[in-house]
Amino acid sequence: MNEEVVWVRELSKRKYIKQYKWSNILAMMRGGGKELEECTDDFAGRLVVITGATSGIGYATSREYASHGANLLLINRNEEKSIALCEEIRQEFQVECDYKIADFSRLSEVRQVGKELLESDLEIDVLIHNAGIYSTKKIITEDGNELVFQIDYLGSFVLNYILKDKLKEQGKARIIFVNSEGHRFAVWGIGLHGPTYEKRRHSGLGSYGVAKTAQLLSMIKFAEYFEGSGVTINAMHPGNVKTSSGSQNGRIYRWYKRNLIDRSAKDPQMSATALYYLGVSKEVEGLSGKFFNLTKEEDPAPPARDMEVAEELWHRSIEMAGLE
Ligand SMILES: NC(=O)c1ccc[n+]([C@@H]2O[C@H](COP(=O)([O-])OP(=O)(O)OC[C@H]3O[C@@H](n4cnc5c(N)ncnc54)[C@H](OP(=O)(O)O)[C@@H]3O)[C@@H](O)[C@H]2O)c1
């Protein structure tokens, strides 16, 4: 299909609107937090790979897994922070901690790390795609994609795509996307937005919603691919927690975040508890292709369940990411 047609095609707005249920709207307003399951099982000697572990949710999650004995391989963009973090983890929890550097705004770096993991003999027990940003400005990466789309969606797609056969051969692994209730901001779906937004006005909420919706759509395809293999893939909203998210944005956004969003925000330990439960608990064993608000399963918004768009996006992402 013509590339422009794929991206610009008017996906029937009415189609999605008809599918919305009040539970979708309420899910977004509620924001989660009340239904947090915990898992106290040990995870000693198992390997957990986490992207974006140098701050916020990724940092708390690294510590949570290490506190249960897991070894860590962290994929971060900042070497100095990675060295300090691994040292802290090793000293405090006596587990192995290693890191790899990849700036997700450069797909070549993500592909390189993916290749290194693929060629290693490491067996990955849990893979947590957490790296993500929120940007009020439209920024185009050197790969030609809108920055949030690339970091919050394409980066995780590239890693997963490169590792998919290895994980399948392992016969077991849990993959978790740190997604967001914010995927519901893409009310009309991703079809109207080109990857560089030349056809559509850019907004912080809109681009975030599109990236998170794209990630949920990719989950449908990955879940199909892993079916029956022992590998599961799920996505979760980590709650509204106080982190560095959006700190690179301008003064107005930072004021809004400090005075409105952060007032009700919780400690990222809550997200780490949920991510440990989803990665380790026997209660979710075998569940795949699901979206959780913390640890409670929920229906994603209609645009994130569109099989036809998921199929188109899958092929387009392979091209955009230079994978085949
Ligand atoms: N906070 C919330 O309430 C909330 C709600 C819903 C969803 N989320 C999602 O949770 C995830 C983590 O966000 P957070 O709130 O913990 O924010 P954060 O404190 O800003 O952490 C983001 C992490 O991603 C890394 N990162 C940013 N840009 C990157 C890039 N170009 N390449 C590689 N890594 C990069 C950061 O590295 P540096 O340390 O080098 O900056 C950091 O480790 C995101 O996917 C976000 O969308 C958060």
pLDDT for 28:
64
Token pair of 212 as six digits: 């998170």
Read off the CATH number of the domain in which 133 is found.
3.40.50.720
> What are the pLDDT digits (tens) for 283-319?
999 999 999 999 999 999 999 999 999 999 999 999 9
What pLDDT does 261 receive?
A: 84
Q: Looking only at Cα atoms, what is the longest distance across the chain? A: 56
pLDDT value for 114 = 98
Q: Is 253 inside a domain boundary?
A: no
- What residues of the chain score a pLDDT lower than 50? 1-6, 8-12
pLDDT of residue 287: 98
Residue 4 has a pLDDT of 44
Query: Quick check: CB of 246 below 6 Å from ligand 1?
Result: no
3-class SS of residue 40: coil
Domain count, the chain: 1
Cα(51) to centroid of ligand 1, in Å? 9
Does residue 312 belong to any structural domain of this protein?
Answer: yes
For residue 181, report the distance from its CA to the centre of ligand 1, in Å. Answer: 15
CB 11 within 8 A of CB 191: yes
Supply the pLDDT for residue 5.
42
Q: Report residue 70 as tokens.
A: 């897991």
- Residue 264 lies inside a defined structural domain of this protein: no
Q: Is the CB of 133 under 6 A from ligand 1?
A: yes
Any ligand 1 atom below 6 A from CB of 56: yes
Beta-strand relationship, 296-298 and 173-178: unpaired
Q: Which two tokens stand for residue 81?
A: 């922070």
For residue 6, the model assigns a pLDDT of 44
Residue whose C-alpha is closest to residue 55's, from 187, 242, 227: 242
DSSP code of 304? G
Could you tell me if residue 123 is inside a domain? yes
pLDDT digits (tens, 9 = 90+) for 180-191: 999 998 888 887
Domain that holds residue 129: 3-240+269-318
CA atoms within 13 A on the CB side of 138: 15
pLDDT at 33: 54
- Residue 259: inside a domain, yes or no? no
